[in-house]
C-alpha cells in the first residue's frame, strides 16, 4: 500500500508535518487531543520514540491512535532500545497496521534520559536501519531469510544543517540517501541564509527536505538551546526580538517568528516543506500555521 | 596498556566482607600500582581501614603481576597467613582476582571495579581505544576505533549529537567522528567515510571467548 504521505511528498505541494509526544503513563488524553488538533491541519504526524531517552508510551502505539483517528502517522524509530530482531519485528507489525511511513533515527544517548543506567543498544545505526527497511521491502530479512509477506514504507531520516563541522554531516546525509531515505526532516533551523546554502547542496539529490521549525517560547529557551543543543543556532537578532517582547506576549512572538520562517521558506521555494516541533505546546501548531498564511 | 580500575566504595567492601572477620589483602605490582588503586600504599591504607572496623588482617602481599601464573608461587609463600584468614580481599583488576581464585581455597572479594583496558596518552591520562570486538575496522577509520571512541559505537559517521568536535554526552570528550573526519581529510582519504559499513557482527567471537594457540 502506497502511503498517502508519499503521494503528498511527490505532489509538489509544500508539505507540512508536525509531531506529538506519547505520555509517560497510560493517560492518552493529552496526546489524543493533540492528534485531534493536528490530523486535518498537517500532512502527517510524527510520533516520537522515547525522545531524549525518556521512557514513555511507545511510538507505534501513538501511530495506531493516529490511524484510528483518520490521520497519517510517521513512525519514529530509534536504534537505542532494540536490537535488529526487535526493529525488524516492529517494521513487520507497523506494515500490517497501515503505518507506512518511518523515520529512521540513531536515537539520543542513554545518559541524557531518565534511565541513566540502561544499556544503549545501537545494534544498528540510522543508516543500517534505512537499508533494513529497503531489504525487507525486497522480501528478505537481515539474517538472509525470505519473508512471508514484505513491507512497504516511505522512509525518511534526519540531518543537522547547522552541525559543526558540517562536512561529516553532509557525508552522512548522502550515505542516508544512498541507503534509501526518501525524505528528511531537519534539526531545527533559524538562520534562513545558512539553510538556503545547505539546500543549495541538498537540491542535487532526489529527496524531499522538510525544514525543522522548533517553536521558540521564550528568549531564555532560545539562548538555552543555542548553548546546549547540538546543531541548534538561534541568531542573536532573533533572541533580541524575543527579549524585547513583554513576557506574556513572548509565546505569541515565538508563534509569529515560526510562522514568518515558514512563509519565507515557502515563498522562495527554499525547501519542500516544514516539520513543526512545538515541544510541549502542540496546541499552538494551528496558530503557527495561521501565522504562516495557511 | 593497563587494566584501569577504580576502588569500590568502602561501604560496598564492608558489605562484601560481612561475616568474614579475618582478611588477607592482595595487591598487584603492575596495573593497580600504576593507577594507585592496589599498590603497597593502597594495600596498607586498606589494612588500616579494615582494622578500624575490627577486622583482623592476617597478612598482606603485593604480587608482581596478579594475573600471571607466577601468582601461584606468591600464594604458596603466603600459605600460612591465607590459611589464617576467612577470605582474600584483592586489590588487582578482575583478571588478577580470577587468577588468584584458582590458587586458593578461600573466597575472593574484589576491592576494585575493573573499568577498561586503557593506553596512557599523557602521564596519568588513560584512554580506552579498543573494545576487543573481533572485527577490526580501524584501517578505514584512520586508526581510531568508532566502536570504542564513539559513545554509541556508530560506524557510519557522526550522529546529530556531535557538537563542535565534542560529544553531547560529555562536553569534555571528543566526538570520535570529528577526529576520524579530520585525520581522513588530512590523509586525503575522505572517500573511506563515504563507504557504507554493514551491521556489526557481535558474534565474531562468541562469549565466552577462548583461543588455543598450537
pLDDT by residue (tens digit) across B33-76?
999 999 999 999 999 999 999 999 999 999 999 999 999 999 99
C-alpha–C-alpha distance, residues B141 and B138, integer Å: 5
What share of chain B has pLDDT > 90, as a percent?
Answer: 96
In angstroms, the separation between the Cα of residue B212 and the nearest Cα of chain A is: 29
Which DSSP string corresponds to B40-101? HHHHHHHHHHHHHTT-EEEEEEEESSTTSTTHHHHHHHTHHHHHT-SEEEEES-HHHHHHHH
Chain B residues with CB under 8 Å of A119 CB are: none
Asked if residues A125 and B156 have their Cβ atoms less than 8 Å apart, the reply is yes
CATH (one of 3.20.20.220, 3.60.15.10, 3.10.129.10, 3.30.70.260) for A4-216+271-286? 3.20.20.220
Grid cell locating B187: 590523509
The rounded percent of chain B whose pLDDT value lies above 70 is: 100
Would you call A175 and B157 a contact, using CB atoms and an 8 Å cutoff?
Answer: yes
- Which residues of chain B are within 8 Å of residue A128 when distances are taken between CB atoms? 156, 198-199
- Chain B residues with CB-CB distance to A144 below 8 A: none
Helix (H, G, I), strand (E, B) or coil at A29: helix
Interface of B with A (CB under 8 A): 151-165, 168-169, 177-178, 181, 185, 190, 193-194, 196, 198-200, 202
Distance between CA atoms of residues A246 and B41, nearest Å: 63
Q: What is the pLDDT of residue B13?
A: 98
Average pLDDT over residues B125-136: 94
Show residues of chain A in contact with B150, CB under 8 Å.
none
Cα–Cα distance, B115 to B3 (Å, whole number): 8
Point out the residue among A124, A142, A165 whose CB comes nearest to the CB of B181. A165
Question: How far apart are the CA of A291 and the nearest CA of chain B, in angstroms?
Answer: 29
A120 to B196: CB separation less than 8 angstroms, yes or no:
no
CB spacing of A163 vs B162 below 8 angstroms: yes
Shortest Cα–Cα distance, A113 to chain B (Å): 10
Compute the mean pLDDT over every residue in chain B, rounded to the nearest whole number.
Answer: 96
* Closest to A74 (Cα-Cα) out of A103, A50, A35, A95: A103
Q: Which residues of A touch B202 (CB under 8 A)?
A: 123
Contacts of B159 in chain A (CB under 8 A): 106, 125-126
Per-residue pLDDT of chain A (294 residues; tens, 9 = 90+): 556 999 999 999 999 999 999 999 999 999 999 999 999 999 999 999 999 999 999 999 999 999 999 999 999 999 999 999 999 999 999 999 999 999 999 999 999 999 999 999 999 999 999 999 999 999 999 999 999 999 999 999 999 999 999 999 999 999 999 999 999 999 999 999 999 999 999 999 999 999 999 999 999 999 999 999 999 999 999 999 999 999 999 999 999 999 999 999 999 999 999 999 999 999 999 999 999 999
CA distance A34 to B140: 46
Q: Which residue has the cell 502542540?
A: A282
Give the CATH fold of the B2-115 domain: Rossmann fold (3.40.50)
Report the C-alpha gap between A98 and A68 in whole angstroms. 10
Of A111, A125, A187, the CB nearest to B155: A125
Residues of A in contact with B181 (CB under 8 A): 165, 167-168, 171
Query: Which pLDDT does position B1 carry in this prediction?
Result: 79
- Number of residue pairs across A and B with CB atoms under 8 Å? 89
For chain B, the residue count is: 214
Interface of A with B (CB under 8 A): 80, 84, 106-109, 111-112, 120, 122-128, 131, 142, 158, 160, 163-165, 167-169, 171-172, 174-175, 178-179, 187, 230-231
User: Domain map of chain A by residue range?
Assistant: 4-216+271-286
| Interface contact A163-B158, CB threshold 8 A | yes
Using the beta-carbon criterion (under 8 Å), do B199 and A124 form an inter-chain contact?
A: yes
What per-residue confidence (pLDDT) applies to A2?
57
Q: Select the residue of B160, B169, B200 nearest A111 (Cβ to Cβ).
A: B169
Contact A127 B196 (CB under 8 A): yes
Q: Measured between CA atoms, how close is A163 to chain B, in angstroms?
A: 7
* pLDDT one-digit tens code per residue, B132-172: 999 999 999 999 999 999 999 999 999 999 999 999 999 99
- Catalogue the E-assigned strands of chain A: 15-20, 44-47, 73-78, 101-105, 154-159, 183-188, 208-214, 273-277
Average pLDDT over residues B185-199: 97
Residue (of B172, B148, B177, B147) closest to B160 by Cα position: B177
pTM value is 0.95
CA distances from A21 to A52, A58, A245, A293 (A): 11, 9, 29, 26
Q: Cis omega before residue A165 (within 30°)?
A: yes
Which residue, among A164, A230, A154, A166, has the nearest Cα to A202 in the 3D structure? A166
Parse chain B into domains and list their residue ranges: 2-115, 129-194
Amino acid at each position: 500500500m502506497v502511503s498517502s504521505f508519499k503521494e503528498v511528498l511527490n505532489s509538489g505541494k509544500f508539505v507540512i508535518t508536525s509531531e506529538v509526544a506519547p505520555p509517560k503513563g497510560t493517560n492518552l488524553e493529552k496526546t489524543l487531543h493533540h492528534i485531534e488538533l493536528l490530523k486535518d491541519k498537517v500532512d502527517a504526524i510524527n510520533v516520537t520514540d522515547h525522545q531524549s531517552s525518556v521512557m514513555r508510551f511507545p511510538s507505534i502505539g501513538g501511530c495506531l491512535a493516529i490511524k484510528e483517528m483518520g490521520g497519517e502517522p510517521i513512525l519514529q524509530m530509534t536504534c537505542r532500545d532494540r536490537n535488529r530482531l526487535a526493529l525488524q519485528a516492529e517494521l513487520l507489525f507497523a506494515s500490517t497496521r497501515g503505518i507506512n511511513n518511518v523515520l529512521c533515527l540513531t536515537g539520543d544517548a542513554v545518559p541524557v534520559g531518565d534511565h541513566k543506567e540502561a544499556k544503549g543498544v545501537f545494534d544498528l545505526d540510522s543508516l543500517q536501519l534505512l537499508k533494513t527497511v529497503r531489504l525487507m521491502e525486497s522480501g528478505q530479512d537481515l539474517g538472509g531469510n525470505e519473508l512471508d509477506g514484505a513491507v512497504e514504507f516511505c522512509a525518511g531520516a534526519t540531518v543537522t544543517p547547522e552541525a559543526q563541522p558540517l562536512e561529516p554531516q553532509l557525508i552522512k546525509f548522502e550515505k542516508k540517501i544512498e541507503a534509501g531515505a526518501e525524505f528528511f526532516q531537519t534539526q531545527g533551523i533559524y538562520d534562513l541564509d545558512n539553510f538556503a546554502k545547505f539546500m543549495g547542496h541538498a537540491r542535487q539529490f532526489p529527496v524531499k527536505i522538510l525544514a525543522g521549525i522548533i517553536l521558540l517560547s521564550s528568549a531564555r529557551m532560545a539562548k538555552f538551546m543555542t548553548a546546549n543543543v547540538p546543531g541548534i543556532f538561534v541568531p542573536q537578532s532573533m533572541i533580541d526580538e524575543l527579549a524585547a517582547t513583554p513576557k506574556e506576549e513572548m509565546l505569541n512572538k515565538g508563534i509569529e517568528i515560526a510562522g514568518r520562517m515558514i512563509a519565507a521558506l515557502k515563498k522562495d521555494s527554499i525547501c519542500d516543506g516544514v516539520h513543526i516541533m512545538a515541544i510541549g505546546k502542540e496546541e499552538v501548531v494551528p496558530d503557527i500555521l495561521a501565522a504562516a498564511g495557511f | 596498556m593497563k587494566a584501569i580500575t577504580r576502588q569500590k566504595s568502602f561501604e560496598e567492601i564492608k558489605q562484601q566482607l560481612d561475616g568474614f572477620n579475618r582478611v588477607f589483602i592482595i595487591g598487584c605490582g603492575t596495573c593497580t600500582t600504576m593507577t594507585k588503586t592496589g599498590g603497597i600504599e593502597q594495600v596498607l591504607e586498606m589494612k588500616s581501614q579494615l582494622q578500624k572496623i575490627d577486622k583482623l588482617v592476617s597478612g598482606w602481599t603485593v604480587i608482581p603481576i596478579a594475573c600471571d601464573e607466577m601468582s601461584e608461587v606468591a600464594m604458596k609463600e603466603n600459605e600460612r597467613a591465607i590459611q589464617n584468614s576467612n577470605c582474600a580481599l584483592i586489590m588487582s583488576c578482575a583478571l588478577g582476582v580470577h587468577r588468584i581464585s584458582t590458587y586458593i581455597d578461600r573466597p575472593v572479594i574484589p576491592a576494585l571495579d575493573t573499568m577498561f583496558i586503557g593506553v596512557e596518552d599523557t602521564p596519568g591520562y588513560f584512554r580506552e581505544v579498543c573494545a576487543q570486538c573481533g572485527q577490526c575496522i580501524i584501517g578505514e577509520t584512520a586508526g581510531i576505533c568508532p566502536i570504542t571512541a564513539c559513545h554509541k559505537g556508530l560506524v557510519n559517521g557522526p550522529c546529530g549529537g556531535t557538537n563542535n568536535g565534542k560529544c553531547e554526552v560529555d562536553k569534555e570528550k571528543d566526538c570520535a567522528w570529528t577526529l576520524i573526519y579530520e585525520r581522513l581529510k588530512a590523509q586525503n582519504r575522505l572517500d573511506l567515510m563515504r563507504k557504507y559499513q554493514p551491521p556489526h557482527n557481535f558474534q565474531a567471537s562468541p562469549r565466552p571467548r577462548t583461543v588455543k594457540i598450537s
